C-alpha cells in the first residue's frame, strides 16, 4: 500500500488527507537515498574535524544548498508530503551522517516552523526565503525563546515588546539564551512578552530582520556535543522592528489578548505552538544518531575477536544489539505516527508529539552509551565515532523540552489532571 492509497486496514480518521502507511512510496525512498548519499559522502568524512573545531560549518551548509537539500524549495518539498514522513526521513539520514553538522543544516528549521505556524501568508513569503538565502549566498535563521531565567518555564520570559503606535514599530528589549544560530543568523524569530500579567498567554513572536540595530550576539556557548552547531546568547537592546514583523499581525494579537483578558481560552502560546509541531522532527534526528551508533557497534561486534570468538557470539553483546534495534524501531514508529498526525492535523490527544521526542531522545542517549560499551576502550576514544555520537545524543533529553517536561505534558494529557 502506498502512502496515498486507502486500505480497509487503516484505522485513522476517514477525512484525513493521507492514510498512514509504513511502506514508503517511491518519492520518499528517492529522498531517503539522496540524503543518505550526502550524509555518507559529505558529512561523515567532515564530522570529526568540525566537532573538534567547534565552529559553524558554512562550507557544509553551502554544499547542502548547492544540491537543494538546504533551502526554501527543498524544505517546501519535504513539508508538502501529505503523509508527513519526508521531513523525519530527511532528518534521520542527516543526523545519521553527523549530528553537529546536521544541526547546522537543520537549525534554521525551528525559526521557519515558527513563521509557517504563526505567520500570515505574506510574512511566510517574505521571511522564509530570507531564512535560507540562496545557494550562492547561504543564510541561516534562529528561534529565540529560552532566556537565562526561562527554560522549561517559558512563562518566565522577560524579553518585552512595546508597540510605538506613532511609528508603527515594536521596541524589543531583553536577553535570549541558548539560541541555535543566535547572533550569526540573518533572521531571528524572538518570543517576547507584550503583557507580562498574562504570563505565556501574553507572548508573541517577532521577526528581527537582518542587521537590525540593537540585536547582537552575546556569549557563544561551549558544549558537550553538537559542537559544529552554533549556540549563543542574543541581546535585544531597544531593538526596533516594523509593525508587520509581529507574526500573525496586530489585529489577531489584539483579539487573542482580549479573549484572554476576558477569561476566555486563548489559542496556543507562541513558543509552544512551534515546539509542538517540531517535536517529531527532533525525535527523527535522535533516531539518526542512535542508528549510526547501533550500526557501528553491530559491525564492530562482528569484527572484534576475544576469547577466540567474535564478541557478538556472546549473548551479553548480541542481546544488547537486539535491544538497540528494537528500541530504535519502536522510537521511529512513534515519530512517524506523530509526524503523520501533525501533517494531517489529527489532534494530539495523548501528547503523541511529546511521546515521540521523549522516546527517541532517551533511546539515542541509551543506545550511544551502549555502543561505547560494545567498543570497549576504543569506544571511549576520539579515534572512534561513538563517543561523539553519545555526546551529541545527550542534548535530545534536554532541548525542545526536557524529558521531565515531556513526561509532564504526556501525564497531563492522558489524565486531565494538572500534574506538577
Ligand X SMILES: Cc1cc2nc3c(=O)[nH]c(=O)nc-3n(C[C@H](O)[C@H](O)[C@H](O)COP(=O)(O)OP(=O)(O)OC[C@H]3O[C@@H](n4cnc5c(N)ncnc54)[C@H](O)[C@@H]3O)c2cc1C
For binding to ligand X (CB under 6 A), which residues are involved?
110, 143-146, 151-152, 178-180, 223, 226, 231, 395, 398-400, 402, 404-405, 408
Q: Name the minimum Å distance from CB 260 to ligand X.
A: 22
DSSP designation for 133: B
Question: Of 106 and 212, which CB lies nearer to ligand X in the complex structure?
Answer: 106
Which of these is catalytic: 92, 327, 387, 400? 400
The residues pairing with 260 across neighbouring beta strands, listed in sequence order, are none
Q: Name the minimum Å distance from CB 190 to ligand X.
A: 9
Q: Name the minimum Å distance from CB 404 to ligand X.
A: 3
Q: Name the minimum Å distance from CB 180 to ligand X.
A: 3
Question: Of 272 and 318, which CB lies nearer to ligand X in the complex structure?
Answer: 272
Residue 400 is a catalytic residue: yes
**H runs (alpha helix) in 39-106:** 44-53, 58-66, 72-80, 86-97, 99-106
Q: Output the residue with the shortest Cβ distance to ligand X.
A: 151
Question: Of 141 and 312, which CB lies nearer to ligand X in the complex structure?
Answer: 141
**H runs (alpha helix) in 270-385:** 270-303, 315-343, 352-375
Question: Of 18 and 110, which CB lies nearer to ligand X in the complex structure?
Answer: 110
CB 141 within 8 A of CB 274: no
Q: Name the minimum Å distance from CB 231 to ligand X.
A: 5
Q: What are phi and psi of 15, to 5 degrees?
A: -80, -10
Q: Name the minimum Å distance from CB 377 to ligand X.
A: 28
CA distance 244 to 169: 8
CB 194 within 8 A of CB 202: yes
CB 12 within 8 A of CB 350: no
Question: Of 311 and 395, which CB lies nearer to ligand X in the complex structure?
Answer: 395
Joined grid coordinates for residue 63: 554544499
CB 347 within 8 A of CB 302: no
Question: Of 323 and 402, which CB lies nearer to ligand X in the complex structure?
Answer: 402
CA distance 284 to 99: 11
The residues pairing with 309 across neighbouring beta strands, listed in sequence order, are 306
- Segment 344-352 long-range contacts (CB within 8 Å, at least 24 positions apart): 344/12, 344/13, 344/16, 344/17, 344/18, 344/82, 344/84, 345/16, 346/12, 346/13, 346/16, 348/276, 348/413, 349/413, 350/410, 350/413, 350/414, 351/406, 351/409, 351/410, 351/412, 351/413, 351/414
- Residues that are catalytic: 400
Amino acid at each position: 500500500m502506498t502512502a496515498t492509497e486507502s486500505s480497509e486496514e487503516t484505522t485513522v480518521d476517514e477525512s484525513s488527507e493521507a492514510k498512514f502507511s509504513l511502506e514508503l512510496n517511491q518519492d520518499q525512498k528517492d529522498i531517503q537515498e539522496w540524503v543518505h548519499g550526502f550524509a555518507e559522502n559529505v558529512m561523515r568524512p567532515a564530522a570529526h574535524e568540525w566537532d573538534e573545531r567547534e565552529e559553524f560549518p558554512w562550507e557544509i551548509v553551502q554544499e547542502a544548498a548547492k544540491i537543494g537539500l538546504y533551502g526554501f524549495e527543498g524544505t517546501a518539498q519535504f513539508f508538502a508530503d501529505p503523509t508527513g514522513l519526508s521531513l523525519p526521513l530527511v532528518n534521520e539520514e542527516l543526523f545519521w551522517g553527523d549530528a553537529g553538522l546536521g544541526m547546522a543544516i537543520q537549525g534554521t528549521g525551528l525559526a521557519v516552523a515558527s513563521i509557517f505556524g504563526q505567520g500570515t501568508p505574506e510574512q511566510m513569503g517574505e521571511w522564509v526565503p530570507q531564512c535560507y538565502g540562496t545557494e550562492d549566498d547561504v543564510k541561516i535563521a534562529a528561534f529565540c525563546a529560552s532566556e537565562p531565567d526561562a527554560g522549561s518555564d517559558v512563562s518566565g520570559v522577560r524579553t518585552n515588546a512595546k508597540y510605538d503606535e506613532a511609528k508603527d514599530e515594536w521596541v524589543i528589549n531583553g536577553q535570549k539564551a541558548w539560541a541555535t544560530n543566535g547572533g550569526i543568523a540573518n533572521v531571528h524569530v524572538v518570543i517576547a512578552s507584550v503583557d507580562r500579567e498574562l504570563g505565556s498567554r501574553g507572548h508573541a513572536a517577532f521577526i528581527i530582520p537582518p542587521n537590525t540595530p540593537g540585536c547582537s550576539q552575546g556569549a557563544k556557548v561551549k558544549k558537550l556535543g553538537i559542537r559544529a552547531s552554533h549556540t549563543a546568547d542574543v541581546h535585544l537592546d531597544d531593538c526596533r522592528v516594523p509593525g508587520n514583523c509581529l507574526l500573525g499581525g496586530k489585529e489577531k494579537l489584539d483579539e487573542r489578548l482580549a479573549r484572554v483578558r476576558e477569561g476566555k481560552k486563548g489559542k496556543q502560546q507562541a513558543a509552544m505552538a512551534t515546539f509542538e509541531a517540531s517535536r517529531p522532527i527532533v525525535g527523527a534526528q535522535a533516531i539518526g544518531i542512535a542508528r549510526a551508533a547501533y550500526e557501528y557497534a553491530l559491525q564492530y561486534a562482528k569484527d572484534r575477536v576475544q576469547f577466540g570468538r567474535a564478541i557478538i557470539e556472546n549473548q551479553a553483546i548480541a542481546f544488547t544489539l537486539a535491544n538497540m534495534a528494537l528500541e530504535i524501531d519502536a522510537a521511529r514508529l512513534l515519530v512517524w505516527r506523530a509526524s503523520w498526525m501533525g501533517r494531517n492535523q489529527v489532534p494530539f490527544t495523548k501528547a503523541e508529539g511529546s511521546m515521540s521526542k521523549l522516546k527517541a531522545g532517551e533511546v539515542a542517549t541509551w543506545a550511544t552509551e551502549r555502543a561505547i560499551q560494545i567498543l570497549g576502550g576504543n569506544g571511549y576514544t576520539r579515534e572512534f565515532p561513538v563517543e561523539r555520537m553519545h555526546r551529541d545524543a545527550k542534548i535530545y533529553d534536554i532541548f525542545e523540552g526536557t524529558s521531565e517536561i515531556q513526561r509532564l505534558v504526556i501525564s497531563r494529557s492522558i489524565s486531565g489532571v494538572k500534574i506538577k
